[in-house]
Amino acid sequence: PVADEFRCYSEIIPRYRIEAQIGEGAFSKVFRALDTVRNEEIAIKIIDKSSMTIQQINGILKEIAIMSKLDHENIVKLLAYKNSSNSRYCYLFLELVQGGEIFNQIIKYTYFSEDLSRHVIVQVVRSIKYLHEQVGVVHRDIKPENLLFVPIPVVPTPVHEQRRRQSDDANKLDEGKFKVNVGAGGIGTVKLADFGLSKVLWDRNTNTPCGTVGYTAPEIVKDEYYSKSVDVWAIGCVLYTLLCGFPPFYDTDPRNLAEKVSKGEYCFLSPWWDEISKEAKDLVSNLLTLDPSKRYTLDEILQHPWILQNSQITEPAF
């Protein structure tokens, strides 16, 4: 059955041997594949344009144009792209990020230690700093599903085994909650993916805001500033989620959720937040600040005591 599905992608089959599906979106599927020419595994995002609107197709062109400009170790690299000869499919050939989504690691481990959360968030901030300052692009879709990671081997020791068993027991008592430290998460380099919603704000060549002429309304000019701060808000949501295992804003009813977000209504829910340091909470509060002009900048994040604090990892992994 798998082979059947791949038949419609036959144009790329001669060079790329599709091995497994690793992701799926509304219009796209992502596969792990072997590039038989370079003898290297890559990811191929196959977008089916047949049921997309003109705007959505333009969105892909923008995603490609933006990704082609990017070169940063914390951002997934676009290696090449092409259209199928009937133009139905668009193929994005991407650097394969073997570990998959940070999202799945949160599900697997329930929540991360402060050290592991810092390890992840610092890399996300670096990728966004590069995007905002070097390229003039806002991502606008930062979330654990779009953060991928390169796995690092975790070598279990008897101590780790014992701790894992203990936490399994604790699990049963504490509804499956246990935290994972640096090392145990097996998270090396974190890479930002999915530029499907990203937007160019700043023209790198002319160093001017995009499309600004003398008649532009002030809210458009201010737009650049506000747009950047949406990524900071999202970083705050990610950091909150890493630390406790659930998002700051949640409601099964989308209208209620929108209401909570627009009021910035969140709390450090007990007992989950009880043991988390006040420095971490302080940073989260400064990211989830309703007024974008008071919200932290990327540099303020990097200078925050919680980020700068020397992580002493005496018990690395279990």
Residues at the binding site are 45
Identified binder of Mg ion from the candidate list 115, 194, 223, 231, rule CB under 5 A:
194
Judged by CB, which is closer to ligand ADP: 45, or 160?
45
Instruction: Kindly state the tokens that stand for 163.
Output: 């701790």
Cα distances from 28 to residues 23, 46, 52, 127, 188, in angstroms, run 8, 5, 11, 24, 27
Which of 139, 16, 21, 31 lies closest to 75 in space, CA to CA? Answer: 139
| C-alpha span between 73 and 203 (Å, rounded) | 22
CB of 26 to ligand ADP, least distance (A): 6
Q: What is the dihedral of CA 180, 149, 129, 316, to 10 degrees?
A: 30
- The letter for the amino acid at 273 is W
Q: Using the rule CB under 6 A, is 101 a contact of ligand ADP?
A: yes
Q: Which of residues 165-194 bind ligand ADP (CB under 6 A)?
A: 193-194
Q: Using the rule CB under 6 A, is 43 a contact of ligand ADP?
A: yes
How long a stretch of residues is the chain? 318
Which of 181, 122, 139, 131 lies closest to 156 in space, CA to CA? Answer: 181
Q: Torsion-angle region of residue 240: left (phi > 0), alpha (psi -120 to 50) or beta?
A: alpha
Q: Using the rule CB under 6 A, is 94 a contact of ligand ADP?
A: yes
By beta-carbon distance, which residue lies closest to ligand ADP? 25
For the annotated binding site for ATP, the residues are: 45
CB of 91 to Mg ion, least distance (A): 17
Q: Torsion-angle region of residue 276: left (phi > 0), alpha (psi -120 to 50) or beta?
A: beta
Point out the residues that are catalytic.
141
CB of 103 to Mg ion, least distance (A): 10
Residue whose structure tokens are 């998959």: 100
Identified binder of ligand ADP from the candidate list 9, 16, 18, 22, rule CB under 6 A:
22
Judged by CB, which is closer to ligand ADP: 61, or 159?
61
Q: Using the rule CB under 6 A, is 48 a contact of ligand ADP?
A: no
Judged by CB, which is closer to ligand ADP: 32, or 160?
32
Alpha helical stretches, state H, the chain: 2-7, 54-69, 102-109, 114-129, 158-173, 218-244, 254-263, 278-287, 298-303, 305-308
β-pair partners for 83: 90
Identified binder of ligand ADP from the candidate list 66, 78, 142, 148, rule CB under 6 A:
148
Identified binder of ligand ADP from the candidate list 35, 48, 95, 300, rule CB under 6 A:
95
Residue whose structure tokens are 């996300």: 124
Angle between helices 218-244 and 102-109 (to 10 degrees): 30
| 28 interacts with, out of Mg ion, ligand ADP, none, CB within 5 to 8 A per kind | ligand ADP
Q: Using the rule CB under 6 A, is 97 a contact of ligand ADP?
A: yes
Which of 94, 82, 100 lies closest to 43 in space, CA to CA? Answer: 94
Judged by CB, which is closer to Mg ion: 110, or 146?
146
Site string for Mg ion, 88-127 (x = CB under 5 A): ----------------------------------------
CB of 47 to ligand ADP, least distance (A): 8
Piece of the chain touching ligand ADP by CB under 6 A; list 88-96, 154-162, 218-226, 310-318: 88-96
CB of 25 to Mg ion, least distance (A): 6
Rule CB under 6 A: which residues touch ligand ADP?
Answer: 22-23, 25, 28, 30, 43, 45, 76, 94-97, 100-101, 145-146, 148, 193-194, 196
Rule CB under 5 A: which residues touch Mg ion?
Answer: 146, 194
